[in-house]
Amino acid sequence: MDVQSNGKRSVLCLRYLNSRICKCIAILLVLLIARAIVFPFSSFDRIEENGLVVIGNRSPFCLDKFLEVPQIVWGLNNQKIAFARACLTARMLNRTLLMPSLSASLFYKEVERLEPISFDKIFRYEEFNPRCNGFVRLGRYMDVSNRTKPIKIPKGSGRKWTVERDLEQLKKYSKEPFDQSEVVRIEGKNPFLWHDHWPVKDYAKVLECLVLVDEIEKEADKVISRIREVGSEVRSKLDSSATGAKARMSLQPVPYVAVHMRIEIDWMIHCRKLEQRSKMNQICSSKEEIVNRVGNIIEMKTPMVVYLAVGDSLLNDSSISKGWKDGFVPLEKKKLGIDEIYQKYPYLVQSAIDYEVCLRADVFVGNSFSTFSSLVVLERTQKLTKTGVSNLCGTDVRWRSYAYNILGDSNGARRWIVDMSDLSLEKISYGSNDTSCR
Ligand SMILES: *[C@@H]1O[C@H](CO)[C@@H](O)[C@H](O)[C@H]1NC(C)=O
Ligand SMILES: *[C@@H]1O[C@H](CO)[C@@H](O)[C@H](O)[C@H]1NC(C)=O
Ligand SMILES: *[C@@H]1O[C@H](CO)[C@@H](O)[C@H](O)[C@H]1NC(C)=O
Ligand SMILES: *[C@@H]1O[C@H](CO)[C@@H](O)[C@H](O)[C@H]1NC(C)=O
């Protein structure tokens, strides 16, 4: 019902009417339409009761008011979080978010080389609004009628700009007279650096509406089928027993583990600093530590192919494939013969493909202080929750995730889920040694 009334609402909303009148007309019409569709024969009382429920549950997007945010920058996962935060900010202001620019490259300081790329080059725009219907909404610049001048909101910064002040500001701009303006434009820094006011489950809801465009999705499919193909060859070589043959006959795809190995020089410098600052020694993991802890995971059934999701700078480093326990077959892009797939694309797309490969892996192992790993685990936890299992940390569940930087049972990596009831995204954006599983 909401889908239908949504479409009608935007037609009915006359742009130049005062927003309050518009709202009232829209509500009345929605009530009437809802009544006609849902309860053609029932009594009037019931209808009103139900009509009100409908109004209460939806966000009033009919007003065609927009929020504009600065270009979204940095790593893929910083960008995803920043995007979700911009959506949630728009939701709070009762506005539609104007489709922001993402950044195709990873230059941190050289702003002129940030290569803006439109959101819909990476994620499907047509898929986003239906999936997030009633929660948040994206709009296009051509939807703006420019009937009033945009209002600019300067984001404060510095020590004095507290979470509370930030929230006050948002509240102020959601009220009169600011709520009358067609476009509100937040100026200043990248949304990743804005204060956070929302629970993890709200972020998860937005992230679920992000679907890769077909071209990128297809590349990820190719990578995954190549991994499974090699896995199947490995199995038939290592395991020629009757059960092995039977397994090969079955149509079950061959499982794989994805390990997000963060050992590049820049990360090592960053994580050592982080360790010093937080007086903790669980942030950096050496290559040897990763290999050992993945090898010691007790639930792991061998032979198993291990996809190494590593940064470009490690692709020529053959040592990442050494030292693995018997039964573990490490694979990287070159060995799989898929590095050309990646070379066709800018950083952001490469990262999006690797993210998908990690998200869909049977087992994922990452670093709990990496935003990339943490977001992968957030989405895997969300998927797992939907299957209805009672113990998300159980040993026999699907889509298990582990953190190699935290010691778990039998000297293996620690089981890891994201606490979906957490009230802020802090642990995910900045990392934590709490993996919510014993
Ligand atoms: C409003 O302005 C934006 C940005 O300048 C432009 O892209 C858009 O086409 C304009 N809309 C209309 C209806 O003129
Ligand atoms: C946004 O819309 C909802 C639903 O109509 C309303 O309850 C809320 O007060 C509005 N928020 C603001 C800040 O105007
Ligand atoms: C996380 O770090 C804190 C502070 O260093 C420490 O007290 C705690 O035991 C650690 N937790 C785990 C699960 O290792
Ligand atoms: C890896 O080595 C190949 C051939 O030696 C070279 O062409 C390529 O640029 C190297 N890649 C990286 C990321 O260093």
Lowest mean pLDDT among 39-43, 193-197, 312-316, 337-341: 39-43
Q: Which atom of ligand 3 is nearest to the CA of 278?
A: 5
What are 253-268's pLDDT values in tens digits? 899 999 999 998 889 9
280 lines ligand 3 (CB under 6 A): yes
Question: Any residues with CB less than 8 A from the CB of 65 and at least 6 apart, and which?
Answer: 19, 93, 94, 95, 96, 179, 181, 182, 183, 184
Q: Which atom of ligand 2 is nearest to the CA of 92?
A: 13
CB-CB contact of 323 with 48 (8 Å): no
Distances (CA, A) of 358 to 154, 352, 407, 433: 38, 10, 21, 20
Higher pLDDT pick, 402 / 301: 402
Per-range mean pLDDT, top range of 5-19, 358-372, 386-400: 358-372
Q: Which atom of ligand 4 is nearest to the CA of 313?
A: 13
* The token pair that represents 210 in the structure block: 């992000």
When pLDDT is averaged across residues 78-99 and rounded to a whole number, the result is 96
Of all ligands present, the nearest one to the C-alpha of 343 is 4
- Tell me the pLDDT band of 109, cut-offs 50, 70 and 90: low
- Tell me the pLDDT band of 319, cut-offs 50, 70 and 90: confident
433 lines ligand 3 (CB under 6 A): yes
For the chain, give the percent of residues with pLDDT over 70.
81
pLDDT at residue 51 in the model? 34
Q: Which of 265, 316, 320, 332 to mutate to test the pocket of ligand 4 (most atoms within 8 A of CB)?
A: 316
Crossing angle for the helix pair 242-249 and 214-238, nearest 10 degrees?
A: 160
| Residue of 75, 190, 178, 91 lying closest to 133 (CA atoms) | 91
Lowest mean pLDDT among 99-103, 208-212, 232-236: 232-236
Of all ligands present, the nearest one to the C-alpha of 339 is 4
144 lines ligand 1 (CB under 6 A): yes
Distance 22 CA to ligand 1 centre (A): 22
* The token pair that represents 222 in the structure block: 């190719």
What are 150-179's pLDDT values in tens digits? 999 988 888 889 999 999 999 999 888 888
When pLDDT is averaged across residues 182-208 and rounded to a whole number, the result is 94
pLDDT at residue 218 in the model? 97
Question: Any residues with CB less than 8 A from the CB of 43 and at least 6 apart, and which?
Answer: none
Distance 281 CA to ligand 3 centre (A): 9
Distance 316 CA to ligand 4 centre (A): 6
When pLDDT is averaged across residues 44-60 and rounded to a whole number, the result is 36
When pLDDT is averaged across residues 80-87 and rounded to a whole number, the result is 97
pLDDT at residue 40 in the model? 46
- What's the whole-model pTM score? 0.82
pLDDT at residue 226 in the model? 96
245 lines ligand 3 (CB under 6 A): no
346 lines ligand 2 (CB under 6 A): no
Hey, what's the torsion of the CAs at 36, 39, 45, 46, to 10 degrees? -140
Question: What is the chain's mean pLDDT, rounded?
Answer: 84
pLDDT at residue 240 in the model? 64
Quote the CA–CA distance of 12 and 31 in Å, as a whole number.
13
| Residue of 392, 391, 384, 333 lying closest to 359 (CA atoms) | 384
Strands 328-331 and 400-407: unpaired
Ligand 3: residue whose CA is nearest its atom 14:
433
Q: Which atom of ligand 4 is nearest to the CA of 315?
A: 13
pLDDT exceeds cutoff 50 at 2: no
* The token pair that represents 154 in the structure block: 């300067």
- Tell me the pLDDT band of 110, cut-offs 50, 70 and 90: low
When pLDDT is averaged across residues 74-100 and rounded to a whole number, the result is 95
The set of protein residues with a Cβ atom below 6 angstroms from ligand 4 is 312, 315-316
Ligand 2: residue whose CA is nearest its atom 14:
174
pLDDT exceeds cutoff 70 at 359: yes
pLDDT exceeds cutoff 90 at 311: no
- Tell me the pLDDT band of 32, cut-offs 50, 70 and 90: low
Distance 200 CA to ligand 2 centre (A): 22
pLDDT at residue 215 in the model? 97
pLDDT at residue 249 in the model? 58
Tell me 255's DSSP state. Answer: P
